Each structure stands twice: as structure tokens, then as C-alpha cells.
Amino acid sequence: MNYSSENRLKKQNPQTQYPQPPFPRQPQERPGTVEDMTPRPDHGEESYKGNNRLEGRKALITGGDSGIGRAAAIAFAREGADVAINYLPEEEANAKQVIKLIEAEGRTAVAIPGDIIKEEFCEELVATAVEKMGGLDILVNNAGRQTAQKFITDITTEQFDNTFKVNVYALFWITRAAMPHLKEGASIINTASIQSFDPSANLLDYAQTKACIVSFTKSLAAQVADKGIRVNAVAPGPFWTPLQPSGGQPQDKIEEFGSSTLLKRPGQPVECAPVYVLLASQEASYITGETMGLSGGTMPF
């Protein structure tokens, strides 16, 4: 598969632009790695071209080592932003790849490993990003925990608690810590999900957290509009990221992942990148409190 920028941007059938199922079963241990995915996801490493739409901005992205966070990090750097990424220590290998790609654009790249289920670390994360970059203009709350379980009785309290800590508590802690540093023209972008609106039976706890994110986004947007800060969410559908084979979906679902969309395939992370860039940029000056769907035609609104 040709993941060049020339191929991605040329006029073509979106159904066949990227790999379609069936895919091989590929179980991974959480948190998963890009290296073990077949086919390899496109985060924009070769295919995303920037246009200086974020020149001089400073962005913090959680879950920036792989998936949608990695695609946003690459795109932001190519649009002229300095970028700090957070990730789990065991994701260091993937994170190093992203750091090299940011630095290749002549931008400041800051790697901040650590677990965001801890309130103290969330505060340190923001403080470190601000110190290393000299400020903060864009916050992307993207890191997520997803574990498929067939029945509610299969969901342990530990899993339920961890899902909410990663997806909801951390988003609150990080945003609260970031707020004093965000000035007029700043942008907060939260990664929600199609699960916010059309929850799957096997993602009971995850879907609840993503609905929380949509509500959080709208409430916070109303709070900070008078400060000149915009807050929006992106609601992806099935995207080809390590979250899926590392417990986010059962392996039989991986084989046909994305086939139920109108485009008959999963989205590639790079296909999210232009939306995150738009919401981060001044071009989205009249967009706040919104949730933008990216679901291959299956979003129920």
C-alpha cells in the first residue's frame, strides 16, 4: 500500500484508498504497538503535508505515541507547532519514532512518559509541557482505555475504575491543570467516539466514558467562551490503531473491523489529522462546543 502524500491526496474512491477487511487475527498485550499491526497503520509519516496553519503554536497531546494521537502530533508539527506527547513508559519505542518525526520538521519535541490515572502526574505533565515548550496553546485529550467484554458480569471493578480514570478523570485533571496557561485563541480538543452516541453491547464501560466526554466538552465550552478559548470533541468510528487488537475488540471482530461502515473499511489515523488541525487552528474560529463525527458514514446524527 502506497502511503505517500501524492497518493493520499489524489482523486480516488475512498472505499479502496486504504486496506479493507478481512484482516488477520493479531492479538497483542495492552497497550499494543504499531509495529505488530497488519496492515501497518498510516499516521501520516509519509502522507501528511503541512501548510503552516499552526505556526508557532505549542501543543500537548496525550496518547501521542500511536493511533490518532500520533497522527495529530505529526500533523501539528508539519503545520508549524511545537509538540509534547504523553504515553505509557512501555510505549517508549513508538514514542521515539514520533519524537524524531517532530524534530525532523525543526520543531521542539517533548516526550513525557507516565500514567495519567494519577492526579499528581497529570499536573506534572502539564507543568513539564509548559516549561519545556514555553507555553501552551493547544490541548488534545486523546489517550483512552477500551476493553471489550461480552456481559456486564465480566467487567471487574478494577477494569471499570481504570476505564473511567483514563478516559474521564485524567481528562478533567489535565484540562484543569492546563487552564491557567491557556490564553485567548487557545483550543482544547477531546477525543470522544461513535460510542458516545451509538454504544456497542460489548463496550459498556467505554461507551459511558465517551458520552461523558461529549457532555464535558459542551459544558466547558460554555464556561470558557468569554476567555476566548474554544473546546470541541472529535468522535471517531472504527479506526485502525493498536487500541483495537490489544483488547479493544475481540479477535473475530478484528477480522472484519470497519466492514459495517459505508466505506467498508476502518479509518486510518491520518484521516483524522486534518480535523484535529482544523479545530486547533484559527480557521475554526466559529466552532466551539461541537462534536465532529468521523465514522465512515455511520454516525447516528
pLDDT of residue 5: 80
Percent of the chain with pLDDT over 70: 100
Q: What is the pLDDT of residues 67-92, one digit of tens each?
A: 999 999 999 999 999 999 999 999 99
pTM of the model: 0.96
CATH superfamily, region 50-294:
NAD(P)-binding Rossmann-like Domain (3.40.50.720)
Q: How many helices (H) and strands (E) does the chain have?
A: 9, 7
Instruction: Answer yes or no: is pLDDT of 169 > 80.
Output: yes
Mean pLDDT in residue range 102-110: 98
**What is d(CA 73, CA 94) in angstroms, rounded to the nearest whole number?**
13
> Is 206 part of the annotated catalytic residue set?
yes
Q: What angle do CA 116, 209, 206 make, to 5 degrees?
A: 95
Task: State the pLDDT confidence band at 1, using cuts at 50, 70 and 90.
Answer: low
From 3, 18, 169, 206, active-site residue: 206
Please check the confidence at residue 280 and state whether its pLDDT lies above 90.
Answer: yes
**Distance between CA 37 and CA 241 in Å, rounded?**
8
Q: Taking 80 as the threshold, does the pLDDT of residue 161 lie above it?
A: yes
